[in-house]
Amino acid sequence: MRQFAWKTAIGLLCFGVLVGCQTTERWPAPMFAVPDAFKGVMVPLELQRDLDNERLLQVVAKGEKALPSDAAQLAEIYYAAGDLAEKHPEKQHHAGSVDLFYYAAVYAFAAAFQDVNPAQTRPRLRQLYNSALARCIQNGAKYGRLDPKKELRIETPSGRVIIPIEHQLTAWQADDFDDLQLIGDYQTEAIAIRHRRDGFGVPLVARRHKRHDGEVKDRYCSPRHPFAVSAFLYPDLAAAHGLPGAGINARLVFHDPFRIEKVRAEGRLVPLAADLSAPLVVCLHQAQRLRLDYLGFRQPELADDMTGLFLLEPYQPGKIPVIFAHGLLSDPHTWDEVLNELRADPAINERFQFGLFFYGSGNPFLLSAGRLRRNLRELVANLDPEGRDPAMRDMVLVGHSMGGLLARMQITNSGSKFWDLFGNRPVLDLNASAETKVMLLENFFFEPQPFIKRVVFIATPHRGSCLAHNFLGRLGSRLVERPQSLEASLRQLLKDNPGAFNPRVSGVLPTSLDDLASGSAILKALAETEWNRGVKLHSIIGRGRIFPILEPGDGVVAVSSAHVEGVASELFVEAGHTSVHTHPFAVQEIKRILGEHLSSR
């Protein structure tokens, strides 16, 4: 056991060096505005200590209207009081911070949008408004005052006030808001640029929890699916100025920051604060706890329940699907940099919808290709069963490394070339169950899928890699735990059909590394197949690395292996194998290709 563990550790370390490791991301708590602790405001010291919320409201209001000229001062009072309540040693005061921060946001809004000279005060007032609203949302969720699907509840001296929530998003509905997460000043190596906007409002990451209810939307969501939201509070200023009873007609709106850049407040258009990159980083932060890249390679059968095709947003008719497939010892997060740039480009994001295919990269190559085909067919059948959406039949596939080979299989007419490598008797003539015969047909026979119109190969080893059969490759192949159920079926098939298979076929399944070796029978057969000539092909190839493959390439895949005839374009980038697809020139090329795809429709 100790020897096995040692070999596993060394093997994964070697493969981490070979294909690249994910970095650990830090997800910090957000930074809030520092209270301007009751500066210049006459509030009794005992109130600052005791924080009797009802008394504080009464003292501040004094039965008078809070005029706009007083609003900035009142915003400071309530914000400082909320900060004290949140940190108070007696827990019964903590929930009261929700109300105090709410009023701070109300008065910061009033001062910012009704002050006669807002230019002098807006930076601090915007900071107060955003921080107060963020802490109101955070503590509202913590103390049961916020239901992100429905409402925010505020307690006032005259009773409870319900602030309704409006969900103004294109793809997501109110029922999708299972929880909210504030965004801190996170650090990540997964993306080069954090796409964010300064403005009024609170950028959030909302998450939809998987229901397992069989609904189509649920099928293409991850277990805790994140999406970007920007919260903006539209207070009822008339009511707020005449406490008690503030907020009778107020509303809290969750905007779609990808589609809304400005909001109208008191007759003015103001920028809406946003963080478009945060959902990708939140999802990566969650996934790193599982190390899906290693799990999919080392124990692909164990990863089966987590694999499949996922959409970043629920299906939107009219938008063209772009499906990304990762490579060996990788997972969908390898595409974070690409997706971060594509989604931040309105011209791209408005016309395309993005999906990610996750598969156990240690499985036999043909098995993964068969699963991608099945997932793509199901996607089209589930989302557009009546064939009314032409965009669903104008699909683009993008594959990195082995993912490019999986994409190529979707446009290939293989005939019996793959089956002939293993069997010398037709599948239907075998002594096997109907289920086994279907499985064999699905994984050995491929034909072009008519809904795929363009494929982008990135660092794709069309002729394999010499690293797959050197010491590291052989060691890596031994580390893969073959699917036991499939191996059992294979052994039974061999037993029930003596002489029906080529002598070199054993009861041990090959791994993806075996299939990716230079000169492998699978890749030779693939090179002899024809693909649908109506599909546009593009190649992005890494070069500038010679070691350890000892020929020009990206250090894993040689240029001679990545090159393929018949492509519409071929771009070379100076990058190593694990970063070819995230290189700025590669990202720009993907954008160009998608633009070309639109213009050719």
pLDDT in tens, 48-99: 444 444 444 444 444 334 444 577 888 888 898 888 888 877 787 789 999 9
DSSP code at position 501: B
By CB atoms closer than 10 A (0-12, 13-18, 19+), residue 378 is: middle
**Alpha-carbon distances, residue 509 vs 295, 365, 390, 458, 593 (angstroms):** 18, 11, 40, 27, 38
Residue among 352, 357, 70 nearest 237 (CA): 70
38 in Cβ contact with 48 (< 8 Å): yes
> Is the pTM of the predicted complex or chain greater than 0.75?
yes
pLDDT in tens, 103-149: 999 989 988 886 555 444 478 899 999 999 999 999 999 999 999 99
Spacing of C-alpha 90 from chain mean position: 40
Say how far apart CA 306 and CA 221 lie, in whole Å: 11
The pLDDT, as a whole number, for residue 85 is 86
Say how far apart CA 412 and CA 420 lie, in whole Å: 16
Q: Does the CA dihedral 207-212-218-222 come out positive or negative?
A: positive
The pLDDT, as a whole number, for residue 471 is 45
Counting every residue written for the chain, the total comes to 601
Residues of the chain with pLDDT under 50: 1-25, 38-68, 118-121, 241-245, 471, 473
- What is the three-state SS of 220-286? CCCCEEEEEEEEEEECCHHHHHCCCCCCCCCEEEEECCCCCCEEEECCEEEEECEECCHHHHHHHHH
Residue 254, strand partner residues? 167, 231
338 in Cβ contact with 582 (< 8 Å): yes
Say how far apart CA 357 and CA 398 lie, in whole Å: 10
The pLDDT, as a whole number, for residue 93 is 76
The pLDDT, as a whole number, for residue 538 is 98
The pLDDT, as a whole number, for residue 43 is 43
Phi, psi of 414 (to 5 degrees): -85, -20
The pLDDT, as a whole number, for residue 24 is 41
The pLDDT, as a whole number, for residue 7 is 38
DSSP code at position 350: T
